[in-house]
Structure 1
Amino acid sequence: MSGVAFDDILQQAEQLNTGLDGGAELPRVQRNIQQLLDAGQRLRSKTSTAQDSAQPQINAALLLSSKGQDVPKISDRLKTLTSASETFEPLDVVGDTDIEEGFLRNERENAILAVVEEQKQRTFLDVEKRHWQTRLSEWDTEKQQLLNKLIGADGSLNFSREVSEHMSTSVYKTSGNVSVNPRSTMDQWELNYARQVHIYNDRILDGGIHLNLADLCQAAAEKMKDVNVTALWKMVKCVTDVQASIGSSLISRRTSKPMLHNLVNQALTYLEKAYLDYMQTCVYARPHIAQLGGAPGTINLVKSFLRVQPANTVQGYEDGDVDGAPLWAVIFYCMRSGDLDAAVEVVKHNENIIPEFSVWMQEYVREGKKLSSSSENKMKIQYKRSVRTSPDPYKTAVYCIVGRCDINDVHGEVAQKAEDYLWLKLSQVCYVVVDESSAHPDVLTLSRFQKLLVEDYGESHFNAMSNPLLYFQILFLTCQFEKAIEFLSRFENLRSHATHVALALHSHELLLTADSLHAKMITTEAADESPLTVVERLNLSRLVMLYTRKFEITDPREALNYFHFLRNIQTDGQSLFIHCTSELVRETGEFEMLLGRLNADGSRKPGAVDKYCAGDTKLLIAKVASDTEAKGLNEDAVYLYDLCGKHDQTLALLNRLLSPVISSSDNSHPDRARLKSMALAIAERYRNQSVETSRNVRSTFHLLLDLLVFFDLYHANRVEQALDVVNELQMLPSTMEQVQSKVSMFKTYTDEIRQSISDILLATMTLLTKRCKLQQNLNKSVTTKSGDSVCTNARRYARSLITFAGMLPYHLPGDATARLVQLEVQMT
């Protein structure tokens, strides 16, 4: 202020004062210097504390306003983060501004919320997926259990696919004739099969020559006079009539080239024999048209067959005829009926017409239905040049069979039935390893043909639901035994046939079975893959158990015959036969009939299972006893342990059963009288037969029997006799000097005795109280010194019992000690 003159300041103040009076709209405020000073101080105090924090906001507001941004709207956007934290929705996009803090914070929080939302959705999806996987797994298990228990028990429940109503053959109907036994739930088919299985097993168990189960089942089908099932068993018998190699595993045999070649040849043989029978039936049915004459043989039969059923599909006969019959049709039907020699004879007779084919045909027969590479290539070239366009479908079919030409041609004019198509394609099959994805598209391997039938055509193409036996035949003849059996087993009325086909194959060591009892009915394992054939495994154990579930309760002997087939299959380290038999015994409760019973002299009368066990019946009974005990059927387990000679387990389990009931009375506990009777009978028999048992188990058992007597006397209110018994047992101290020794002795007792000690103490104390009361009542009428001594001894006895209870290394029930003290007080 020293640099400014006072006159200048005064002049400036007057100018300001003049400006205020210059017509402004604001009213003039008259304030003195002190008032101005106070107002300034108040304004300063209000703004000084918030100046630092408010200055950036003021600057931001000014800058945003200069850019055309609405400050309140931006503030609202920033506040939405609080609500977004609950819903995890992304924040609104911030405009393109230069506010580094707000913009970057918004982007960062948007990124965080996006990650959280993504993880939340992923977690929800994972939880839902796991939930449904668990529920589906539980439901599959429940369905299997329900199926095993309920399917087909009386024919009213049917969980399999329905067969068309128009099919009238008896194989699709459950026979109305049931077993002579009114309790049996087996129909006539099942009974006939069961008889054959019984004969088969008896021969095996007697050590004789094994019978052919397929022959036995075919005989059963012939007895039932069912054409379809008889044909089925003829097919099974023909295909399985192969020589198995020795010394190799089943999977290696089934996937080997020689075995597959033999199986396919057997399938062709069956199809050829069946067609020969069909030709003969057609010819003999119309002899006036067939005009069968001359030398008997296939050639004359074929010519007669062509008269009955002319080859009217031939648009033109090439290369002449044979006595009026088309040449190539005669050759084809000679081959179709399986007589290659007759086909060669026809070819040789017309060698001047078809010289090249005559050479190839003779080589084909001579080399076992195959040509050399050079001959096959020449034949394929000739086929592509001229034969493929021939109007004679029989000529093209014969060329395709002999030279394996054009594997994609179905030859619908000559192969009008599925059996004809199968025969033609199986005749073209080559047993070479071919890369499915690349070369050799003109080579038909067995695996390619199998996949074509199942994956490309499938069940719908062959109308499998209406004609299941046909589709079964198609799968079976193409060496897909396991899939064929699994398909047939889906139909309840056909399950008996499927099961016995599986057993027949299993007896011939041709069936691939699953290793696990809990596997699906049909499974595929990566280790079994083969380039020559499709390999699958059948759960034979599940199939047999599902089949026997229907009648095992009413016909357990028949069920045992089927379980015998499972004797070489292991589950949980034991034979599946033992596992199934154990379950059968538990379900039926037929202990004596199945396992036998004990005679009075301790010997065991054999049961139905003895003939299957080869002297190891006791091991089986021990397994059944163990499983029965695990199921909580302890009384049955006692009987079974006793039956198989496991005497220690018998007494140990009986001890556990007796311990909870010894303190009760026979009237109050319904199981006590029955268990007591069982225990006394076993004790007497073991004593008479001098049965050796463990000392600890035996001593516990006899002590429990004595305690049973003690509590019987206690509940009968026979005071003196009960006290005499408990004193003879020497379990409890009668004087203070005996307390320590009895406590030490208590430590040697088993849990079955220890858990009853509180009841024994209370019963003994109650008896002492009653004795004292009786003596006191007697003393009121007659005063004697002996009466006082009785009460004194009772009180001393009671005091030692309370001391003993307090020193026991065992936790007594909460009210036991209090009750003991109350009873002691009552003696005073």
Structure 2
Amino acid sequence: MAGVELDDILQQAERLRADLDGGDELPRVQRNFQQLLDAGKRLRTGAPTTNDGAQVKASLLLSSHGYEIPQISDRLKTLASAAQSLEPLDPICDTDIEGFLRNERENAIIAVLEEQKSKSFESVEKAYWKTRLSEWEKEKQNILGKLIGTDGSLNFTQDFSTTRPSNSDYLDSGLKANTRSLMDAWEVGYARQVYVYNEKILSGSIRPNFVDLCKVTAEKMRDENILSLWNMVKCVIDARISSSEKSVLGRRLSNRVITEIVKQARRYLEDAYKEYMRKCVQARLQTAKLGGSLNALNLVESFLKVKPPQVSGHSDANWAKLYFCLRCGDLEAAQEIASRIRGSTPEISGWIDEYMNNGTLSPNSKHQLQLLYKRTVRNGGDPFEIAIFCILGCCDVMESHNEIAEKTDDYLWIKLSQVCVEKTQSSHSEVLTLSKLQAILADYGESHFNAAANPLLYFQVLFLTYQFEAAVEFLSRFPDLRCHALHVALALHEADLLIKANNLHDALVSSKQSDQSQLTTVQRLNLPRLLMIYTRKFELTDPREALNYLYFLRDEKHENESLFMQCTSELIRETGDYALLLGGLNPDGSRRPGLVDRYCQGSTKELITKVAQDTESKGLFEDAVLLYDLCGKYDNALKLLNALLSPLVPNSDQAHSDRVRLKELAANLAHRYRAMSVELSTDLQSTFYILLDLSMFFDQYHLGHYDAALDVINELHILPVKSETVQEKVRAFSSYSDEVRQNIGEILLATMKMLGARRKQLRSSSARDVAAVKAHARALLTFAGMLPYQLPGDITSKLVQIEVDML
């Protein structure tokens, strides 16, 4: 090495490097110092290279595409650290254009991820607080609803204890809502009036008007819309209905009832419009210039000053006054205005007189009016005159009168005034029947009346056009209005105007082809279903209020069974509050009355039996035992209790928690039945007491008290002690019930194990005692082999093994 110059070594190194750079056979491979050091050590020591071949191949592959492993490794570490923190990458030298662009691209990706992360956290936080605020708002409304007093003001002295008022103090203290009640203010107010209504019926007093009671609630809540709803319902229901039809369907389809209902619907619209005119006039007294008494004529004239009609063409003021007098229902004022009209229609005064006296025109007068209307009036251009002729003579029934019928109420009033119920000689196409009006409104549909945004308006449209059931069903779709819908249905039901579905499982509203008539279309409402949907909200927290509503079904039948009984049974099973609703047993065995006694009126035991049967069919056997015991069906109680005790008898109290509870229940029943000298079925009673004694036997066995356990089983005389009694015990075995026989294997095994333990204790005793134990065991084994009952295979083998061990 001494003869070689440093310049020569440098030149040789450069040539080697040039050869490597210029060669095409192998790609250039770069290694860092640590890799070179590791490779040198392996070559020096001759150690095998585990993954060296794979790494070399990877390096060759990546380097052939221009990627260097050291650079890639460092870059990946940088990206991994950046991905965790989502921080921008460190800037690189400005002269590295490719690296700069790659760095900018990666920074842009990281910025987008960071932005989306921030937006996601912000969105989640907003959704969280929105949900919490919504829940708090509902809770505030619930608390405020519970604090509403009887006068509609907040009452902070109300009792929020969990105890409920008794029947005697209900009216004095009002409906005391506990802290868990789910009833809102409207539901509490209606429930109070329902209680008052039922109390009057149960006490034999004069039945109050249910609608008036509901109006009291609306007045206390100070809701003008709901108060108008009840005013409408009251006006329609108060129709003077007199029909010889006994069924509700026959009554609803009769001409006389339809006529009265339509008349009352029209009267409600007239009274409501008169009140509307009065409010308009009082709001602008200076413009109205109201002078003298506030009679209908002065009111109409003042109203026309406040709101002059906006109609096209020439309009006679007298025709406008006459229309508004008819619109507010004052026919006397209309007669006075008609007497002022002269000129082309002198007959109008006589027609108004006839309309006022009879409520309609005679066929002759109607024919004259229709002829005059077709000749001159229809093309006369005065919209008020046209509307009056159409109302009096039922002309152009398809005309909407848009110029003067500005609101839905005006349109309904005009159409109801044109409805013809009685038979007429005119062709069907020229007569507007109630059925045809209902079809016209159905064609308009809910969207035309914006029913989703204003459900009370569409409810009024349906209700005033004799579609009571459809109106109730529509209103019940809105959870906030369901309480009003139900109570309207109850009001119709109490007025014998509600057509109810025949099947409890029908849809909420259904119809039958046989129910239809040429005059109107009727539907059937599933009242029990609507009522149960309503009470399901609060039946668990307020069962007594739910029971008050179910009392409305006392006269309804389903499959020849009282619907009140069926629904009350379901209510009791759902709540599980048997003590409150059904009462309990006193120590002397007498029954303590519950809430249902007030409503059942002597048939409480029948209801309890129904609840017990339904509870048993649902698999709630322990509850069924208590219910059968409560209603005096002692045999049913014992039968179920025997079936429950039988599989638990061989177990220990520690192995099965239900065993302790059932033993305590069985002991209480046994003690009370003996004290009361209850007459029971001999077989059931015998099985019951045997199962109790067997439970005591296994208790002693599991505690290790073998002598006491053997004494118990010997006193039962189920198993033979000697070989001579085997035949007798086998014959007696067939007389036992299944509940006892299915435990015979466990009884034999436990007894044999105790005899085996005694045999071990007697090894040093006299031969007589040992022989007695062996004879007892042999008798048990013989008894097991002769039984007409298939024992489990493992039981038989264990018995034989124990008997062999005694030898």
Output the CA distance in 2 between the equivalents of 1:218 and 1:271: 18
State the Cα distance separating 1:692 from its structure 2 match: 1.3
Correspondent of 1:256 among 245, 254, 257: 254
Deviations 1:439-489 (A, max 9, x none): 5211100000001101x1010111111111000000000010111111111
TM-score (norm 1): 0.75
Deviations 1:50-77 (A, max 9, x none): xxxxxxxxxxxxxxxxxxxxxxxxxxxx
Output the CA distance in 1 between the equivalents of 2:731 and 2:405: 94
For residue 397 of structure 1, give the secondary structure of its aligned residue in structure 2: helix
After TM superposition, the structure 1 = structure 2 runs for residues 286-685 of structure 1, keeping only pairs within 5 Å, are 286-313=284-311, 315-318=313-316, 326-350=317-341, 354-367=345-358, 369-432=359-422, 439-454=427-442, 456-685=443-672
Question: Which has the bigger relative contact order, CA under 8 A and spacing at least 6?
Answer: 1
Output the CA distance in 2 between the equivalents of 1:714 and 1:799: 20
Deviations 1:569-608 (A, max 9, x none): 2234322222222222222221111111111111111111
Return the letter of the residue paired with 1:605: R
Deviations 1:157-203 (A, max 9, x none): 9xxxxxxxxxxxx9xx9895236421111111111111111111111
Output the CA distance in 2 between the equivalents of 1:513 and 1:818: 68
Structure 2 CA distance for partners of 1:795 and 1:175, relative to 1, 3 Å: closer
Return the letter of the residue paired with 1:811: Q
Alpha carbons 2:611, 2:627 under 8 Å: kept: yes
Q: Counterpart of 1:217? A: 214
Output the CA distance in 1 between the equivalents of 2:191 and 2:428: 49
Deviations 1:630-685 (A, max 9, x none): 22111111111111111111111111111011111111111111111111111101
After TM superposition, the structure 1 = structure 2 runs for residues 738-749 of structure 1, keeping only pairs within 5 Å, are 738-749=725-736
Alpha carbons 1:651, 1:701 under 8 Å: kept: yes
Output the CA distance in 1 between the equivalents of 2:430 and 2:715: 98
State the Cα distance separating 1:694 from its structure 2 match: 1.0
Q: Counterpart of 1:53? A: none
Output the CA distance in 1 between the equivalents of 2:449 and 2:431: 24
Structure 2 CA distance for partners of 1:274 and 1:174, relative to 1, 3 Å: farther
Output the CA distance in 1 between the equivalents of 2:496 and 2:513: 21
Alpha carbons 2:190, 2:217 under 8 Å: kept: yes
State the Cα distance separating 1:359 from its structure 2 match: 2.1
Alpha carbons 1:432, 1:445 under 8 Å: kept: no
Output the CA distance in 2 between the equivalents of 1:208 and 1:315: 62
State the Cα distance separating 1:156 from its structure 2 match: 8.0
Alpha carbons 2:245, 2:251 under 8 Å: kept: no
For residue 380 of structure 1, give the secondary structure of its aligned residue in structure 2: helix
Alpha carbons 1:596, 1:604 under 8 Å: kept: yes
Q: Counterpart of 2:720? A: 733
Output the CA distance in 2 between the equivalents of 1:272 and 1:699: 79
Output the CA distance in 1 between the equivalents of 2:723 and 2:142: 81
Alpha carbons 1:665, 1:715 under 8 Å: kept: yes
Deviations 1:197-245 (A, max 9, x none): 1111111111111111111111101100001000001001111112443
Output the CA distance in 2 between the equivalents of 1:241 and 1:284: 30
Q: Counterpart of 1:806? A: 785
Output the CA distance in 1 between the equivalents of 2:213 and 2:370: 46
Return the letter of the residue paired with 1:177: G
Q: Which runs of 5+ in 1 are unaligned?
A: 1-153, 158-169, 319-325, 780-786
Alpha carbons 1:496, 1:547 under 8 Å: kept: yes
Correspondent of 2:179 among 177, 182, 187: 182
Asked if 1:205 is matched to 2:205, the reply is: no
Output the CA distance in 1 between the equivalents of 2:134 and 2:512: 37
Q: How many matched pairs?
A: 642
Structure 2 CA distance for partners of 1:496 and 1:175, relative to 1, 3 Å: farther
Return the letter of the residue paired with 1:214: V
Q: Which runs of 5+ in 2 are unaligned?
A: 1-131, 148-176
Deviations 1:350-402 (A, max 9, x none): 467732222222222222x2122222111111101001012211111110001
Structure 2 CA distance for partners of 1:672 and 1:174, relative to 1, 3 Å: closer
Structure 2 CA distance for partners of 1:273 and 1:657, relative to 1, 3 Å: same
Asked if 1:233 is matched to 2:220, the reply is: no
State the Cα distance separating 1:527 from its structure 2 match: 2.1
Q: Counterpart of 1:150? A: none
Deviations 1:408-427 (A, max 9, x none): 11111111100000000000
Q: Counterpart of 1:283? A: 281
Of 410-419 and 425-434, more deviation after overlay is shown by 425-434
For residue 287 of structure 2, give the secondary structure of its aligned residue in structure 1: helix
Output the CA distance in 1 between the equivalents of 2:347 and 2:244: 42
Deviations 1:482-508 (A, max 9, x none): 111111111111111111111111111
Output the CA distance in 1 between the equivalents of 2:194 and 2:542: 14
Return the letter of the residue paired with 1:289: T
Structure 2 CA distance for partners of 1:816 and 1:175, relative to 1, 3 Å: closer
For residue 398 of structure 1, give the secondary structure of its aligned residue in structure 2: helix
State the Cα distance separating 1:289 from its structure 2 match: 1.6
Deviations 1:64-93 (A, max 9, x none): xxxxxxxxxxxxxxxxxxxxxxxxxxxxxx
For residue 501 of structure 2, give the secondary structure of its aligned residue in structure 1: coil
Output the CA distance in 2 between the equivalents of 1:175 and 1:374: 66
Output the CA distance in 2 between the equivalents of 1:376 and 1:547: 49
For residue 683 of structure 2, give the secondary structure of its aligned residue in structure 1: helix
Output the CA distance in 2 between the equivalents of 1:463 and 1:317: 32
Asked if 1:789 is matched to 2:757, the reply is: no
Of 709-718 and 456-465, more deviation after overlay is shown by 709-718
Output the CA distance in 2 between the equivalents of 1:803 and 1:525: 73
Return the letter of the residue paired with 1:415: A
State the Cα distance separating 1:556 from its structure 2 match: 1.0
Return the letter of the residue paired with 1:823: I
Q: Counterpart of 2:163? A: none
Alpha carbons 1:174, 1:493 under 8 Å: kept: no
Q: Counterpart of 1:129? A: none
Alpha carbons 2:318, 2:340 under 8 Å: kept: no
Return the letter of the residue paired with 2:728: S
Over the aligned positions, Cα root-mean-square deviation in angstroms equals: 2.1
Return the letter of the residue paired with 1:452: I
Output the CA distance in 2 between the equivalents of 1:241 and 1:234: 10
Alpha carbons 2:528, 2:553 under 8 Å: kept: yes
Alpha carbons 2:315, 2:383 under 8 Å: kept: no
Output the CA distance in 2 between the equivalents of 1:484 and 1:457: 15
State the Cα distance separating 1:541 from its structure 2 match: 1.2
Structure 2 CA distance for partners of 1:264 and 1:716, relative to 1, 3 Å: same
Alpha carbons 2:361, 2:393 under 8 Å: kept: yes
Q: Counterpart of 1:123? A: none
Output the CA distance in 1 between the equivalents of 2:143 and 2:253: 39
For residue 622 of structure 1, give the secondary structure of its aligned residue in structure 2: helix
Alpha carbons 2:759, 2:770 under 8 Å: kept: yes
After TM superposition, the structure 1 = structure 2 runs for residues 79-118 of structure 1, keeping only pairs within 5 Å, are none
Return the letter of the residue paired with 1:332: Y
Return the letter of the residue paired with 2:333: A
Structure 2 CA distance for partners of 1:640 and 1:374, relative to 1, 3 Å: same
Deviations 1:330-360 (A, max 9, x none): 1111111111122123223446773222222
